[in-house]
Amino acid sequence: MNAVVELAPVVALVGNPNCGKTALFNALTGSRQKVANYPGVTVEKKVGRVTTPAGRSIEIVDLPGTYSLRARSPDEEITRDAVLGKLATERAPDLIVCVADASNLRLALRLALELKQVGRPVMMSLNMMDIARKRGVEIDMAALERELGIPVVSSVAVRRGGIDALLAALDTRLAANQATVASEWRAPDATALRGGQREADRVLRAAIRKAGHLDPGTAKADAVLLHPVGGLLILLAILFVMFQAVFAWASPLMEAISEAFTWLGALVGEAPLPELIRSFLKDGVIAGVGSVIVFLPQIVILFFFILLLEDLGYMARAAFLIDDRRDRLTTILVAPLMTCSARIPVYTLIISAFIPDREVWGFIGLQGLVMFGLYAAGIAGALTVSFVAKRLFWRTAEGEPFMLELPDYKIPQARSLAFGVWTRALAFLKRAGTTILTMMILIWALASFPQPPEGATDPAISYSLAAKIGRAIEPVTHPLGFNWQINVALIPGMAAREVAVGALGTIYAIDGGEGAAEKIGKVVAGQWPLATALALLAWYVFAPQCASTLAVIRRETGGWKWVAVTFFYMLALAYAAALATNQIARALGAG
Amino acid sequence: MTIIPTIALGDARVGFRGLITALDLARAPAAGLPPPELERRLIELGFVEGATVELLHQGLFGGDPIAVRVAATTIALRRREAMAVMVTDQS
């Protein structure tokens, strides 16, 4: 008997953005998938398992979408290196599947030609055949295989049985055990790219019997949604509704989670444990981590909206509508919506913690309104900064050009959407269980030691290191309306903003007394004047980004100089914004 | 022999239909990328000589950015980068 455990063959999915690659990945792997990060970069690594009809177990890797192996971003570098077998931590693919949108083949064919040069077995999966057919596209599969020189199958990721042909082809290709030859791929220059596109166009002419038309639905929708004025108004309306929903729909569930943690805390509070351990579990772990986990319903609703808009094909339109030709506004504005999953969830979290839940003008939720205002403030701030930056050092404000495919609108698939939300929710919980838990333990220790002397009269926390640190900064933050408890939370909040909320949960829990709220996750709102809450929000609009953002800046600029510049200018900006907010709000009577 | 006038795609209006005749990087000095990189990106998104283009939409501020149908794909880009794409009028 052969005792050697054979590793499952690796199949890599590569394709243009919007080619339906992720839907295909979901169809292939179902729930047998994992989302993590590639080591050292914030690029999502999606790996799953599938068993073929012949009983072969395969590892499927969904690589980031790209137009070329000539990588221009960290995501595309991962795709290039994975395809070339150069990722130190990953096994090289045994088979590359180039996923192409059957109704939009042209750019995919050029990518396929590039993939052929890598020297590994390659095949193509013509995805979304149903849509292509509906659009009147007729493809001669035999001609396409012949002219392209690689096996081609068709697939409909979203229909039962739609991937049977692909699964069968995976078996055939892997059974053929085609050898890998030395890679001939080199980063193409303009001449090579042009030659590649000409060749792709030739293949296209040979294989397409009938070309389709621009999707009439997309054309009609864009006439409205991309209207210079109307489109912008609709975008604002969508954001407004989205932010209202995030707060309104989540509150019953948040209430339930909060009660569960409060119950858990009470249970631990009565347990026969040494006082210090009881405080650690109750105030550090349960109050700290609990006050972050309470926000899970909001995260779920938020990602539901973001992924829905993305799957609809609307996100690229949103970028189009708010692009400004002079600077990097798009990146600044849309990035929080699309990529930096740390930012907007944290806003929702801070808002529900700090802004009272009540209605204004009878029907509009105050929390959702503040969220909308924050977003608008972010836009105004970005405009000002880019304007000033252009005056001061105009070269740095140049930035990336805006070049982006606007995919056809598609009806989102419930399954795909559910997977997306599920994996984000898991990631949030994982973060709460690791990073945030670690920080909470640290905060608890700072707030508990040194222990008060014998016969102390003040609350125990006032003898702690945390109180000393918080009070030391107080003269600086007093004009902002911040008290020492907030000061303590500000410092870890720079590493990850959601930690600030958890830290306040822990500090107030240890502080105890009549000031402490009775429910975890509801600790903070109502403890301070509204002016302080608004000032704290203003601080978080501009405060230095999560550590990962600074890491990206360092990599992009290749040095610490810009990291330092960014850090301190954001710190200064945050201080100024919080100061102005506090002073104005107090003058208006919100003190 | 008739001479068909060429213009830069960056100067075209909504509704313009044409054919790409050349990529002329010297025409896009304000682009946010060095010319060789801009050329590669344009080609990767399908802006190759002989491809049909149609200007579908434009943004609010200064008619920027623009949404262009290139063959069977819709691409959004700014006019300053689109200046490098030379087109003949076919409308």
The CATH number that applies at residue B69 is 2.30.30.90
Q: Does residue B1 form part of some domain?
A: no
Q: Does residue A1 form part of some domain?
A: no
Q: Is the pLDDT of residue A194 over 80?
A: yes
| Same domain as A245, residue A200 | no
Q: Does residue A410 form part of some domain?
A: no
Q: What is the pLDDT of residue A93?
A: 93
CB contacts < 8 Å between A and B, how many?
120
Q: Does residue A408 form part of some domain?
A: no
3-class DSSP assignment, residue A395 = helix
Q: What is the pLDDT of residue A9?
A: 92
Is the CB of residue A271 less than 8 Å from the CB of residue A278?
Answer: yes
pLDDT top residue among A212 and A117: A117
The whole-angstrom separation of Cα A447 and Cα A464 is 5
Structural domain count, chain B? 1
Of B50, B62, B65, the CB nearest to A402: B65
The whole-angstrom separation of Cα A112 and Cα A253 is 47
Q: Does residue B34 form part of some domain?
A: yes
| Same domain as A260, residue A184 | no
The whole-angstrom separation of Cα A134 and Cα A215 is 10
| Same domain as A204, residue A331 | no
Of B71, B76, B80, the CB nearest to A404: B76
pLDDT band at A324 (very low <50, low <70, confident <90, very high): low
Q: What is the pLDDT of residue A451?
A: 75
The residue out of A170, A187, A213 marking a domain boundary is: A213
The whole-angstrom separation of Cα A34 and Cα A426 is 10
| Same domain as A483, residue A575 | yes
Length of chain B in residues, anyone? 91
Q: What is the pLDDT of residue A384?
A: 64
DSSP characters over A322-339: T--TTSSHHHHHHHHHHT
Q: Which residues of A touch B45 (CB under 8 A)?
A: 67, 107, 403, 405
Side-chain half-sphere exposure of A587, counting CA atoms within 13 A: 7
Of A110, A222, A402, the CB nearest to B78: A402
Q: Does residue A4 form part of some domain?
A: no
| Mean pLDDT on B19-37 | 87
- Phi and psi (nearest 5°) for A511? -55, -40
Q: Does A379 touch chain B (CB under 8 A)?
A: no
Measure the CA dihedral A362/A363/A369/A371, to 10°. 140
- The DSSP bridge partners found for residue B54 are B17, B69
pLDDT band at B84 (very low <50, low <70, confident <90, very high): very high
* Range of lowest pLDDT (A55-69, A94-108, A352-366): A352-366
Q: Does residue A220 form part of some domain?
A: no
Is the CB of residue B2 less than 8 Å from the CB of residue B78?
Answer: no
What is the domain range of residue B54? 6-89
Q: Which of B41, B43, B75 to mutate to test the interface with A (most CBs of A within 10 A)?
A: B43
Q: Does B71 touch chain A (CB under 8 A)?
A: yes
- Phi and psi (nearest 5°) for B74? -105, 125
* Pairwise CB contact (< 8 Å): A67 & B44: yes
| Strand (E) or helix (H) holding A278 | helix A275-279
Q: What is the pLDDT of residue A502?
A: 72
A223 token code pair? 């006439």
pLDDT band at A322 (very low <50, low <70, confident <90, very high): confident
Pick from B12, B20, B19: nearest CA to B79: B12
SS (H, E, C) A451-510: CCCCCCCCCHHHHCHHHHHHHHHHHHHHHHCCCHHHHHHHHHHCCCHHHHHHHHHHHHHH
Of A68, A214, A402, the CB nearest to B77: A402
- pLDDT tens digits for range A70-101: 888 788 889 999 999 888 888 899 999 999 99
Q: Considering chain A, what percentage of its residues have pLDDT values greater than 90? A: 18
Q: Does A190 touch chain B (CB under 8 A)?
A: yes
Task: Give the minimum alpha-carbon distance from A199 to chain B in angstroms, rounded to a whole number.
Answer: 12
DSSP characters over A78-133: HHHHHHHT--TTSPPPSEEEEEEETTS-HHHHHHHHHHHTTSS-EEEEEE-HHHHH
Structural domain count, chain A? 2
pLDDT band at A340 (very low <50, low <70, confident <90, very high): very low
Q: What is the pLDDT of residue A202?
A: 93
C-beta neighbour count of A450 within 10 angstroms: 10
A287 token code pair? 């109050």
Distances (CA, A) of B76 to A95, A177, A190, A316: 33, 42, 21, 9
Q: Which of B57, B77, B85 to mutate to test the interface with A (most CBs of A within 10 A)?
A: B57
Q: What is the pLDDT of residue A341?
A: 40
Chain centre distance of CA A454: 50
| Same domain as A281, residue A202 | no
Q: What is the pLDDT of residue A99?
A: 96
* Pairwise CB contact (< 8 Å): B44 & A232: no
Q: Which residue has the tokens 């290709």?
A: A173
Q: Which residues of A touch B34 (CB under 8 A)?
A: none
- pLDDT, averaged across chain A: 78
Q: Which of B40, B54, B64 to mutate to test the interface with A (most CBs of A within 10 A)?
A: B40
Q: Which of A67, A225, A402 to mutate to test the interface with B (most CBs of B within 10 A)?
A: A402
| Same domain as A90, residue A25 | yes
A71-92: b (≥16 Cβ within 10 Å) or e: bbebbbbbbbbbbbbebeebeb
The whole-angstrom separation of Cα A116 and Cα A130 is 26
Q: Is the pLDDT of residue A13 over 90?
A: yes
Q: Does A316 touch chain B (CB under 8 A)?
A: yes
* Pairwise CB contact (< 8 Å): B40 & A193: yes
- The DSSP bridge partners found for residue A130 are none
Task: Give the minimum alpha-carbon distance from B47 to chain A in angstroms, rounded to a whole number.
Answer: 9
Of A212, A226, A325, the CB nearest to B61: A325
Is the CB of residue B28 less than 8 Å from the CB of residue B11?
Answer: no
Of B32, B48, B73, the CB nearest to A194: B48
Q: Does residue A279 form part of some domain?
A: yes
| Same domain as A459, residue A432 | yes
Q: Which residues of A touch B41 (CB under 8 A)?
A: 72, 401, 403
The residue out of A164, A180, A213 marking a domain boundary is: A213
| Mean pLDDT on A303-327 | 78
| Same domain as A357, residue A325 | yes
Strands A138-139 and A208-210: antiparallel
- pLDDT tens digits for range A360-412: 666 677 777 777 777 666 666 655 665 565 555 544 434 567 788 999 898 88
Is the CB of residue B23 less than 8 Å from the CB of residue B33?
Answer: no
Q: Which amino acid is at B40?
A: R
Task: Give the minimum alpha-carbon distance from B48 to chain A in angstroms, rounded to a whole number.
Answer: 7
The residue out of A213, A239, A262 marking a domain boundary is: A213
pLDDT top residue among A139 and A213: A139
* Pairwise CB contact (< 8 Å): A401 & B74: no
| Same domain as A144, residue A96 | yes
Q: What is the CATH number of the domain that holds A183?
A: 3.40.50.300
Is the CB of residue A477 less than 8 Å from the CB of residue A493?
Answer: no
Q: Does residue A261 form part of some domain?
A: yes
Q: Does residue A225 form part of some domain?
A: no
pLDDT band at A1 (very low <50, low <70, confident <90, very high): very low
| Same domain as A274, residue A160 | no
What is the domain range of residue A309? 230-398+421-587
| Same domain as A263, residue A205 | no
Q: What is the pLDDT of residue A255?
A: 79
- pLDDT tens digits for range A494-549: 666 666 777 777 777 666 543 344 455 555 556 677 788 888 877 877 776 555 55
Q: What is the pLDDT of residue A386?
A: 56
pTM: 0.74
Q: Which of A198, A232, A320 to mutate to test the interface with B (most CBs of B within 10 A)?
A: A320
Is the CB of residue A472 less than 8 Å from the CB of residue A308?
Answer: no
- Phi and psi (nearest 5°) for A318? -60, -40
Q: Which residues of B touch A67 (CB under 8 A)?
A: 44-45
pLDDT band at A325 (very low <50, low <70, confident <90, very high): very low
